[in-house]
Amino acid sequence: MKIMHLQNNETMTEQAPDITLKPKVTPPIIKINNLNVHAGQHHILKNINLEITKNKITVLLGPSGCGKTTLLKCLNKLTDLYTELRVSGKIFIEEDDILNTQKNVPVIRQKMGLLSQLPYPLPISIFKNVAYGIKLKGVRDKKLIEYNVEKYLREVGLWNEVKDRLHNSPTSLSIGQQQRLCLARGLAVKPRIILADEPTSSLDPISSKIIENLFRKLKKNYTIILVTHILRQAVRLADNVVFMYYGEIIEQGHSKDLFKNPKTEKLREYMLEGN
Amino acid sequence: MFDRITETWMVTALVTILLLPLIIGIALYLKAMPLFEIQNLPHLIGSSEWLPTDGKFGFWPFINSSMYVTVLSFIFSAPVCLLAGIYLTQFASKNLVRIMHPVMDILAGLPSVIYGMWGILIIVPFVGNVLAPFFNINSSGYTMLAGGIVLAVMCIPYMLNMLVEIFNTVPIGLKEASLSMGATFWQAVKHVVIRKSYPGIISAYGLGLAKAFGETLAVMMVVGNRVQITHNPFKAGYPLPALIANNYGEMLSIPMYDSALMFAALLLLVIILIINLVFRYFIYKTKTR
Amino acid sequence: MNRRKIIEENIFKFLSGFATYSLIAILAFIIIIIFVKGFNSLSIDMVIKTPKGGYYYGGEGGVLNAIIGSLDIAFGATFIAILIGMPAALYINVHLIRYKRIQNTIRYLLDALWGIPSIVYGAFGFTLMLFFGMNASLIAGIITIALLITPIVVRTFDEVLSTIPMGLYEATLALGSTKTETAFKIMFKQGFSGFITAVLLAFGRGIGDAASVLFTAGYTDLIPLYLDEPAATLPLAIFFQLGSPIPEVRERAFAAAVILTIIILIISLTARYFSKIYSKSNLK
């Protein structure tokens, strides 16, 4: 137990936090209740119950095939694209149950930005890639669009590298730059949540570092859910960790506690292998 | 809202295209219907009496001609395609393959008339003045043999493209396994590549046959256009498409003639659709394996 | 035993190589004949004048009627084919992306559609003409050829669209685009090379096909000015004039053949060139 000394010499003991993520002040931005995903006979996600805290980096960790990417895709309803998947349960994003809502799907998707494993720049110029997201929000004014394109490119640290070739094709950029471009494009729709699916796994170490630093900076204003199988990346970035194994959540908690004192055998094994 | 309109346009376009063969079939059937009142289907197809002015429409000579010319072309095109396909996928240098692509594109894109013209200028004299005398036969050159040769050249690009695709889908690992067991390269090719591609080869051939069956102009220009049933390649023939194309001018002057020609078109449509549907099915099975 | 195997291998190597090279030779042969025959007949007059005097008497004039007629029909038909074929191909690849089985069935049907011979389209066009009371005319020819070449547009464009990786589609949807927006703003651009190839191939087919215009477009020595006038076409110009007893008329056929062949050569080579160029810049 830690003992804190306050200004007027009162002391207070700080409780060790619970295993489950109890929201401290703000309600969780995402609440998942009894999420089940089946693909034919396979039960891919088994009874997932999860709460995601706002403005923190939550890492979905686990070996390949444990369902973490599927979980991510449920959040922005990309699972709709795959008829073989049957999704049941409730997912509340800011009080809206997206699995059972009447709301327009594109509108729901704009609450989140997606960063995939491979960068997928749109087949248009660098400028237009970022502008695409801005225009989707209804902005028409040219000056405003230009201003915002610069703003988001600056936010991902790309502005100085591309400002002289805004109208070139993104294929002229390195893969790390393309990934940052995709991030800028995703931010341009003003999401509140960033979904990142192993975003650095195809990048070189320098670009990976840049992306990781960006996430640290961005979490002040965005909630980030990061899927990774790189244990060390999770240790570096995570505020909260959700450890998954074969479609179930084995352990979840604040990263410092989780990694110092893994409570389950599986997590301990995983950490040993990861190091 | 704009989305809705566009989406409707997209679906309508797709559905229209998919319904096209049905609509064509129905339209041709309706036009051919009067014919069924004077002769029934088996008689139309089986009879060899073709006297339109007397109201006698027996389509057998034409069906027979079509089949004969198609088979003739197949005899020439099948081995050439197979050999060339193997060479291109197994033995040829990268440069040769690169040259062959535009060559095949152009051969496939050349219009029927151009082939017909080449046929008249080169093949017909060749058959009439070189081949026929060689066999001691008197022939003008406007023969089914000429038709078969021209058709063969026209169908080879299509069949070759398909064969190359099929041969290329045989995983290289299989060939390597065979080679590492001591087979020569050719043996590996023979036993692995060809055997694995059997259904694909059959389908490619089938589709080539369908194309040959439907070719109109090139064949028409060299085949002689005489109504007769014969199995002598040095005699003239009269395939089904040529029948339709040659007589459209008189179509409305002789009673029932237009129905007859529409029936011929319907026959062609049905035969070729069936061949296509059957063989394409086999190709899908090969590719998706 | 080994000797026999080696001999067998060499024989087949030789035969198959011979087969391959002879194909190149045949193409060269055909092209050379056409050009040799046409070289003498090709003149400025040939291209800018219409024929005078008809089949039996006239030796003057050129094939302008057929050139204009063919271009009119090919452009008109290609335009319609794009209008119908392009959205259809996009729909298959975007809106139907969930339904793999339906996609496969549709592609299977489209392939079968591709195989329908042009004479059947011609006969069908003829029935349409009777039904609507049209005469052999430019518009009848355009419609019939449009029906013929639309499957080409759909199939060629669809083939390229189907290679676009799922990830791009997901990324675009994740931004909040609707399916239709994704189709026209993104997928179309990504598959643009396929679109160009499709249009070129369709145009080439449209300008070279004879059997479908035989009944529907008619033939004339004049240049069509209105849609309901008959139109001459290059393939028919060759077909009808090749057998004329008058050498000057035959010359026109040869000239038309050269012109048609040149057009097809340009289209075939351009189509392949375009498909290479665009696919390089969009390579993932």
Q: Do A120 and C283 touch (CB under 8 A)?
A: no
pLDDT value for A147: 92
pLDDT digits (tens, 9 = 90+) for C198-208: 999 999 999 99
DSSP three-state, residue A35: strand
* 3-class DSSP string for C224-259: CCCCCCCCCCHHHHHHHHHCCCCHHHHHHHHHHHHH
Task: Return the C-alpha torsion angle C57, C63, C65, C67, nearest 10.
Answer: 160
List the alpha helices (DSSP H) in chain C.
2-41, 44-48, 64-94, 100-114, 118-132, 138-161, 166-174, 179-181, 188-190, 192-208, 211-216, 234-242, 247-281
pLDDT value for A5: 46
pLDDT value for C134: 87
pLDDT value for C138: 92
pLDDT value for A11: 46
pLDDT value for A3: 44
The beta-carbon neighbor of B102 closest among C13, C121, C272 is: C272
pLDDT value for A20: 59
pLDDT value for C196: 92
How big is the CA angle at A133 (ends A130 and A139), to the nearest 5 degrees? 105
**Mean pLDDT, to the nearest integer, of B225-229?**
84
**Mean pLDDT, to the nearest integer, of B22-46?**
86
Q: Where are the domains of chain B?
A: 2-287
pLDDT digits (tens, 9 = 90+) for B57-86: 888 889 999 999 999 999 999 999 999 998
How far is it, in rounded angstroms, from Cα B66 to Cα B272?
12
Q: Which residue of A has its CA nearest to C180?
A: A106
Q: Do C165 and A189 touch (CB under 8 A)?
A: no
- Cβ(B144)–Cβ(B65) under 8 Å? yes
**Mean pLDDT, to the nearest integer, of B258-276?**
91
Smallest CA–CA separation between C273 and chain A, in Å? 20
Smallest CA–CA separation between B107 and chain C, in Å? 7
pLDDT digits (tens, 9 = 90+) for A122-157: 999 999 999 998 888 888 899 999 999 999 999 888
How big is the CA angle at C129 (ends C128 and C135), to the nearest 5 degrees? 170
**Terminal C-alpha separation, chain C:** 50
- Residue B43: which pLDDT band, with cuts at 50, 70 and 90? confident
Q: Which of B223, B218, B221, B244 is nearest to B233 (CA)?
A: B223
pLDDT value for C113: 85
A240-245 and A57-61: which strand pairing? parallel
**Mean pLDDT, to the nearest integer, of A268-274?**
79
Q: Do C112 and B210 touch (CB under 8 A)?
A: no
- Cβ(B142)–Cβ(B223) under 8 Å? yes
Residues of C with Cβ-Cβ distance to A122 under 8 angstroms: 168, 171-172, 186, 189
- Residue C212: which pLDDT band, with cuts at 50, 70 and 90? very high
- Cβ(A179)–Cβ(A161) under 8 Å? no
Smallest CA–CA separation between A160 and chain C, in Å? 24
Topology of the domain comprising B2-287: MetI-like fold (1.10.3720)
Q: Do C116 and B272 touch (CB under 8 A)?
A: yes
Residues of B with Cβ-Cβ distance to C25 under 8 angstroms: none
Residues of B with Cβ-Cβ distance to C26 under 8 angstroms: 107, 153
Q: Looking at the DSSP assignment, which residues form a beta bridge with residue C60?
A: C52
Token pair in block for residue B102 = 């535009």
- Residue B37: which pLDDT band, with cuts at 50, 70 and 90? confident
How far is it, in rounded angstroms, from Cα B272 to Cα B202?
16
| Residue C126 to residues C133, C144, C145, C211, C214, Cα–Cα distance (Å) | 10, 9, 12, 12, 10
**Residue C4 predicted with pLDDT over 90:** no
Smallest CA–CA separation between A84 and chain C, in Å? 9
Q: Do B18 and C265 touch (CB under 8 A)?
A: no
pLDDT digits (tens, 9 = 90+) for C11-41: 888 888 899 999 999 999 999 999 988 887 7
Distance of CA B283 to the CA centre of its chain: 17
pLDDT value for A122: 92
Kindly report the number of other CB atoms within 10 A of residue B164's CB atom: 21
Distance of CA C99 to the CA centre of its chain: 31
- Residue C87: which pLDDT band, with cuts at 50, 70 and 90? very high
- Cβ(C110)–Cβ(B276) under 8 Å? no
pLDDT value for A6: 44
- Residue A16: which pLDDT band, with cuts at 50, 70 and 90? low
pLDDT value for B197: 81
Higher-confidence position of A189 and A25: A189
Token pair in block for residue C222 = 């004049």
**Residue A10 predicted with pLDDT over 50:** no
**Residue B31 predicted with pLDDT over 50:** yes
pLDDT value for C279: 58
- Cβ(C13)–Cβ(B91) under 8 Å? yes
DSSP three-state, residue A7: coil
Helix, strand and coil content of chain A, in percent to the nearest 5, comes to 35, 25, 35
- Cβ(B95)–Cβ(C11) under 8 Å? no
Residue burial C68-86, b: 16+ Cβ < 10 Å; e: rest:
bbbbbbbebbbebbbebbb
**Residue B28 predicted with pLDDT over 90:** yes
- Residue A9: which pLDDT band, with cuts at 50, 70 and 90? very low
- Cβ(C240)–Cβ(C219) under 8 Å? yes
The beta-carbon neighbor of C112 closest among B27, B102, B280 is: B280
Token pair in block for residue B27 = 């339209």
pLDDT value for A15: 52
**Residue A236 predicted with pLDDT over 80:** yes
pLDDT value for A19: 57
Q: Where are the domains of chain A?
A: 123-190
Phi-psi region of A67 (alpha: psi -120 to 50; beta: other; left: phi over 0): left
Q: Which of C32, C51, C30, C76 is nearest to C256 (CA)?
A: C51
DSSP three-state, residue A88: strand
Q: Which chain A residues have any C-beta within 8 angstroms of a chain C C-beta?
A: 76, 78, 80-83, 106-107, 109-110, 112-114, 116-118, 120, 122-124, 132-133, 136, 169, 171, 182, 185-186, 189, 195
pLDDT value for C88: 94
**Residue A258 predicted with pLDDT over 50:** yes
pTM: 0.86
Q: ipTM score of the complex?
A: 0.90
Q: What percent of chain A has pLDDT over 70?
A: 90
pLDDT value for A8: 46
- Residue A121: which pLDDT band, with cuts at 50, 70 and 90? very high
Chains that touch B (3 or more CB pairs under 8 A): C
The beta-carbon neighbor of B18 closest among C37, C109, C118 is: C109
Q: Which residue of C has its CA nearest to B9?
A: C87
**Residue B232 predicted with pLDDT over 60:** yes
The beta-carbon neighbor of B87 closest among C20, C37, C211 is: C20
**Which of B6, B7, B10, B179 is the best residue to mutate to test the C interface, defined by the most C CB atoms within 10 Å of its own CB?**
B10
CATH C-level class of C46-281 = mainly alpha
**Mean pLDDT, to the nearest integer, of B97-123?**
92
**Mean pLDDT, to the nearest integer, of A27-35?**
85
Q: Which residue of A has its CA nearest to C170?
A: A78
**Which of C175, C178, C188, C283 is the best residue to mutate to test the A interface, defined by the most A CB atoms within 10 Å of its own CB?**
C175
Q: Do B272 and C95 touch (CB under 8 A)?
A: no
Q: Which chain C residues have any C-beta within 8 angstroms of a chain A C-beta?
A: 97-100, 165-178, 185-186, 189-190, 192, 281-284
Residues of A with Cβ-Cβ distance to C167 under 8 angstroms: 116-118, 120
Smallest CA–CA separation between B54 and chain C, in Å? 23
- Dihedral sign computed on CA atoms, order C128, C133, C138, C139: negative
Q: Which of A79, A81, A77, A80 is nearest to A93 (CA)?
A: A77
Q: Do C211 and B241 touch (CB under 8 A)?
A: yes
pLDDT value for A194: 93
The beta-carbon neighbor of C264 closest among B110, B153, B277 is: B110
How far is it, in rounded angstroms, from Cα B255 to Cα A224?
80
Q: Do C17 and B27 touch (CB under 8 A)?
A: no
Q: Do C117 and B214 touch (CB under 8 A)?
A: yes
Q: What percent of chain B has pLDDT over 90?
A: 40
In chain A, the largest separation of any two C-alpha atoms, in whole Å, equals: 63
Token pair in block for residue A186 = 């995703």
For B46-60, the DSSP string reads: H---EEGGGTEE--H
Q: Do B265 and C120 touch (CB under 8 A)?
A: yes
pLDDT digits (tens, 9 = 90+) for B188-198: 777 777 777 88
The beta-carbon neighbor of C173 closest among A109, A124, A132 is: A109
The beta-carbon neighbor of C215 closest among B20, B103, B248 is: B248
Q: Do B103 and C17 touch (CB under 8 A)?
A: no
pLDDT digits (tens, 9 = 90+) for C93-127: 998 888 888 998 999 889 888 889 999 999 999 99
A42-52 and A30-39: which strand pairing? antiparallel
**Mean pLDDT, to the nearest integer, of B164-190?**
74
